Structure 1
Amino acid sequence: MYDRGLSVLEQYGLESNAVYRTRGALVCETGQGRVLIKEFGGTPRKLECQALLLSDISGKSQVLTDEILPNLEGGYMSLDKENVPYIVKRWYEGRECDTRCEEDICTGAAALASLHKVMKMPVQEHYVRESLSQEYRRHNAELRKIRKFVSAKKKKNDFELQFLDSIQCFLQHGETALDRLESSGYEKLREHALGEGTVCHGEYNQHNVWILKDHEHAAVTNFDKWSFDVQVADLYQFMRKIMEKYDWDRKLGEKLLETYEEIRPLSKEEREYLSIRFSYPEKYWKLANYYYTHNKAWISEKNVEKLKKITSQHDKWRNFSEKTGM
């Protein structure tokens, strides 16, 4: 199993001195530095755009990235002996951002701001993210559909009973967020972002922020879900997961915002957008959608606990979302 994908290194003129596993990939020590070998399941076209974006970033920001290396023929995807496609990335020695460490998460916010200042490229329609208005309309419709489904069940489990007790409140928050979004300056903000060609990471979380061994640099990895969008979407995704872990601690939230804005100040419109994003019950929708799209005959106790936590955090979440953006 250790050999899986390793044979592609010869297509890069590289030879492995040592190899070990990491999440879904192999890390290899070579004479030209550390690299990561990962099976590739995307499209060659988007991969090439991603490679060009990361190459461009490397000369403009102090934040390091897992650049995609070209093979000896100039391609970014290589087939192993069994015709399985792989990519090879530059990799670093360090550790994932620790969400229990305030310094680490502030480093993550600062790294994101630095990247956002340089992540731009000519817009390609294929990779423009769906409008947030469309996304919220779809999610709200899904919540109503799930409510109808659960209401019609004769025998309801604990999760379903808790869901029915809470759905009206959270759905109202979803509808209000959509109304706010449609009456805000979001569409102009989005038009400006697309006009500038601003790029989002798409999956900016603690797992993709690495604190390097020298403690002086950070590296950001896994840009596979990049898209053209309002960049504050990345900041929202990063902060939301942190805030959930910290029970919506306002002081920490303010510190993360201040850290980001020391490098890339937010406009009034971006702050309004961020406030609206935090006011939408995204975690609640995700849990309800997971329930609806998976086996309903057995609901894990973990999901029941997740729903309890979301409802118990309601007031702190609402207080945080109402203050964000002011």
Structure 2
Amino acid sequence: MRMVPNDLLNQYDLIVKRSQYSRSNFLLDTNKGKYILRKVNIQTEQILFMYDAINHLRKNGFMEVEVIYLTKKNLPYATSKGQIYIMQSYTTSNDVEFKDTTDIKGIIRLLANFHTCGLNFDATERSEKIIHIKDVYVYFQKRIRDTNTLKKKVLPLSKKTEFEHLFLKDYTTYLTLQHLALECIDKESIDNLIKYAQTNKSLAHNDYNYHSVTKIGDNIYLSNLEKCSYNMQILDLCSILMKVMQKNNWDTDLLVTLIKEYEDIRTLSPEEKSILKAMMIFPEKFASICNKYLQCKRRNNYSMFLVKWNNMIVYKEEQVLAAHFIKDNL
């Protein structure tokens, strides 16, 4: 059994009765309750930002996130042998089921509340003005160029890999979706939303998925805020809705229901709705595969791309139908 390093424990004001090592983390039963000491692979500046963010959220009424406990030196992190750890309270939890409508609605409501409480956030270690916020319009243009570049690269090849044959068979379908998504937004709208995020100091999770939520009893809690930053909050909603759609056969009735759940708590602006529409249409998984394949130096190492492609192509027809529904109805 792996023991907690003494130099790590000595940084906290508590007495450990029992400990358990699990997935690079230490579960601690102490004189002050149960805690988890998590090893994290992020810079200390980001931990300080995350600590401020959690305190801001809780101060504004968002209590569904665990606090980070300070060391004796009032730091939100501890170090041992070059590794960085943070300590939070620990409660046994369950995974959230992404095919259970009640759970999915709970996830969306949690996100809406998080966004509502995540405005006007002043971080002590970072200015909202120096943070890079992804320009979605420019991103779409780059990914469209990737698709065309890959087509030009693959077409002349006399011996094509299985992945390259599949790409040539179906790329036009996804390229059409890429252009359809680009039609839904314009550069000015994106610039306005970026400016809004900076002016209103809006906090985004940036990695909101099924690993970012846990269920304790009937309540859903937010976790894994390691990537949080100032950003356009609508990107969180787009990300989670895309994952839900992929797991639910692109059920557009469910999509409409979930957007309503979100807007019952936080109303989307017309510009946010345009981005939501565009990003739900844009074939992100396809774009990611193409981009990574272009960067791959060995064509014969294509098995990973083939698996991802086959997983994506399963719901191609449903995705295309959903894209046109989204374009016309959202």
Task: Give TM-score scaled by structure 2 length.
Answer: 0.88
Given that 1:35 and 1:89 are in contact with CA atoms closer than 8 Å, whether structure 2 keeps it comes out as yes
- Write out aligned runs for 1:25-174 (5 A): 25-80=25-80, 82-120=81-119, 121-122=121-122, 123-174=127-178
Q: Could you say which residue in structure 1 is the equivalent of 2:302? A: 299
> Does 1:272 find its partner at 2:274?
yes
> Does 1:318 find its partner at 2:317?
no
Of 82-91 and 92-101, more deviation after overlay is shown by 82-91
Unaligned runs of 5+ in 1: none
Given that 1:26 and 1:38 are in contact with CA atoms closer than 8 Å, whether structure 2 keeps it comes out as yes
Given that 1:275 and 1:324 are in contact with CA atoms closer than 8 Å, whether structure 2 keeps it comes out as no
Post-superposition shift, 1:179?
4.2
Unaligned runs of 5+ in 2: none
Of 282-291 and 108-117, more deviation after overlay is shown by 282-291
Post-superposition shift, 1:23?
4.8
Q: What SS does structure 2 have at the residue aligned with 1:96?
A: coil
Aligned residues: 322
Aligned pair partner of 1:178 in 182, 185, 190: 182
- 1:244 to 1:30, Cα distance in 2 relative to 1, 3 A: same
- 1:62 to 1:86, Cα distance in 2 relative to 1, 3 A: closer
Cα distance in 2 for partners of 1:126, 1:67 equals 26
Given that 1:55 and 1:67 are in contact with CA atoms closer than 8 Å, whether structure 2 keeps it comes out as yes
- 1:154 to 1:251, Cα distance in 2 relative to 1, 3 A: same
CA shift digits 1:120-175 (9 cap, x unpaired): 31443343322212322322222223223322432122221111122233223323
- 1:230 to 1:283, Cα distance in 2 relative to 1, 3 A: same
Q: Could you say which residue in structure 2 is the equivalent of 1:246? A: 248
Q: Could you say which residue in structure 2 is the equivalent of 1:11? A: 11
Amino acid at match of 1:230: M
CA shift digits 1:266-295 (9 cap, x unpaired): 222221221111121111112223434445
Of 293-302 and 246-255, more deviation after overlay is shown by 293-302
Post-superposition shift, 1:7?
5.2
Measured on the aligned residues, the alpha-carbon RMSD in Å equals 2.4
Post-superposition shift, 1:207?
1.4
Of 105-114 and 265-274, more deviation after overlay is shown by 265-274
Identity %: 20
Cα distance in 1 for partners of 2:21, 2:140 equals 39
Given that 2:177 and 2:320 are in contact with CA atoms closer than 8 Å, whether structure 1 keeps it comes out as no
Cα distance in 1 for partners of 2:153, 2:273 equals 37
Of 35-44 and 280-289, more deviation after overlay is shown by 35-44
Given that 1:18 and 1:28 are in contact with CA atoms closer than 8 Å, whether structure 2 keeps it comes out as yes
Q: What SS does structure 2 have at the residue aligned with 1:206?
A: coil
- 1:314 to 1:100, Cα distance in 2 relative to 1, 3 A: closer
